[in-house]
Amino acid sequence: MHLQTRLATVFALLATLGVALASSPLSTQVNGLRALDGEWIYLEDRTPGRALEQMGPPMSAKFSMLVEEDAVTLVRGHGSRHRNVRVALDGSASEVGEPEKSARYSGAWKDGAFTYQVDFLRGPDKAPDGRIRREFRITADGLLVRVVYGSSESIGLYRHAEDIVMPTPTKSAIGDMSWLVGAWVGTKKSGASIEERWSPPLGGAMLGVSRTVSRGRMSSFEYLRIVERDGGLIYIAQPGGNPPTEFVLTELTTMRAVFDNPRHDYPKRIVYELSAAGDLSATIGFMKGGTPRSFGYKREGN
């Protein structure tokens, strides 16, 4: 269900119930909260005045919540190693953690927004040692998340994955990626060795595999594919052999290819670029802003 349809359904339900809702604050609260249910994906930074390189999600790039009648359960992505933290809507506190180090959650639904705060408690007297405040508000654009930590404030827009429009593929064929063929090797700043090996284009596809070796042992690997589909190219990644994630080719030159998937939490963009000297760089990051991570390769044997 698209975002607009989901919001329309929520508002229509509220309007249909009319007087009954007006006489039942709890019912109004629950139905307004329902729109917050599910998994949310970061889309863009909405913090005023923020420089491009500072842009990023105000909390995890993907998080989920479960709405109940009198509480919201923080399922994942809320910055806590404790999952399924139940935050009551009456302001009462929920404490999770160990005796010497814990976090106290309290929340409420007010003025069309769900807000909760986390007080970090440390030491024998359990005195607060920091606080995070998060606000979640449904807007016409999606879910606006505001996070305040100390004097810092960040705002980000999130949507359900199905409500994020995928980009239109750039017209291309698998042969257009022939410059990526070969064995590419490099070294990370940590000293770990990295490699990507790409097969020649054949049968509408190229196959690739990557490997990272640290201290003489393989620390990670990834299965890769680039395939033709609907007149364009799709990059398919399976890090660690996990289920595939697809990225759409949106830009292509004889030495550069950009693959995007705004529905993915991270990375949302993968860029391959060949330098004039014949070196390869692979860069991952968000579609706008932040600090992308880049890996450099040379052809094996060079």
- Domain shared by 211 and 236, yes or no: yes
pLDDT, tens only, 3-20: 454 544 444 433 433 433
- Taking the C-alpha atoms of residue 83 and residue 91, their distance in angstroms, rounded to an integer, is 20
Average pLDDT, the chain: 89
Report the first-to-last Cα separation within the chain, whole angstroms.
52
- Domain shared by 289 and 179, yes or no: yes
Q: Give the range of the structural domain holding residue 218, as residue numbers without chain letter.
A: 174-299
Longest Cα–Cα distance of the chain, Å, equals 77
166 within domain boundaries: no
Give the domain CATH number at 128.
2.40.128.20
Number of C-beta neighbours around residue 300 at 10 A: 11
Residue ending a domain, among 161, 190, 214, is 161
pLDDT surpassing 70 at residue 297: yes
34 within domain boundaries: yes
Sheet containing 38-45: which strands, arranged edge to edge?
A: 85-88, 71-76, 62-67, 38-45, 152-159, 143-149, 127-138, 113-122, 101-110, 94-98
156 within domain boundaries: yes
Residue ending a domain, among 132, 161, 190, is 161
Q: With residue 238 as reference, give the H or E element that holds it.
A: strand 232-239
Report which residue type is found at 233: L
Q: What is the DSSP letter of 167?
A: P
- Domain shared by 155 and 206, yes or no: no
Residue 143: C-alpha distances to residues 38, 42, 80, 103, 296 (Å): 12, 9, 21, 25, 37
HSE-CB for 46 with a 13 A CA cutoff: 15
- Domain shared by 150 and 178, yes or no: no
193 within domain boundaries: yes
Structural domain total, the chain: 2
pLDDT of amino acid 2: 52
Residue 230: C-alpha distances to residues 25, 112, 156, 161, 287 (Å): 51, 42, 33, 21, 23
Peptide bond into 58 cis (omega under 30): no
- Domain shared by 14 and 128, yes or no: yes
Number of C-beta neighbours around residue 272 at 10 A: 22
Q: What is the DSSP letter of 166?
A: P
Q: With residue 229 as reference, give the H or E element that holds it.
A: strand 217-229
- Taking the C-alpha atoms of residue 283 and residue 291, their distance in angstroms, rounded to an integer, is 10
169 within domain boundaries: no
Confidence category of residue 83, pLDDT binned at 50, 70, 90: confident
pLDDT, tens only, 207-221: 999 999 999 999 999
pLDDT, tens only, 121-169: 886 677 777 899 999 999 999 999 999 998 999 999 999 999 999 999 9
pTM to 2 decimal places: 0.86
- Domain shared by 125 and 190, yes or no: no
168 within domain boundaries: no
pLDDT surpassing 60 at residue 30: no
- Domain shared by 200 and 249, yes or no: yes
167 within domain boundaries: no
Residue ending a domain, among 135, 161, 187, is 161
- Domain shared by 147 and 232, yes or no: no
- Taking the C-alpha atoms of residue 263 and residue 248, their distance in angstroms, rounded to an integer, is 11
- Domain shared by 76 and 125, yes or no: yes
- Domain shared by 15 and 119, yes or no: yes
- Domain shared by 192 and 287, yes or no: yes
Q: Would the CA dihedral through 283, 284, 286, 289 be positive or negative? A: negative
- Domain shared by 186 and 156, yes or no: no
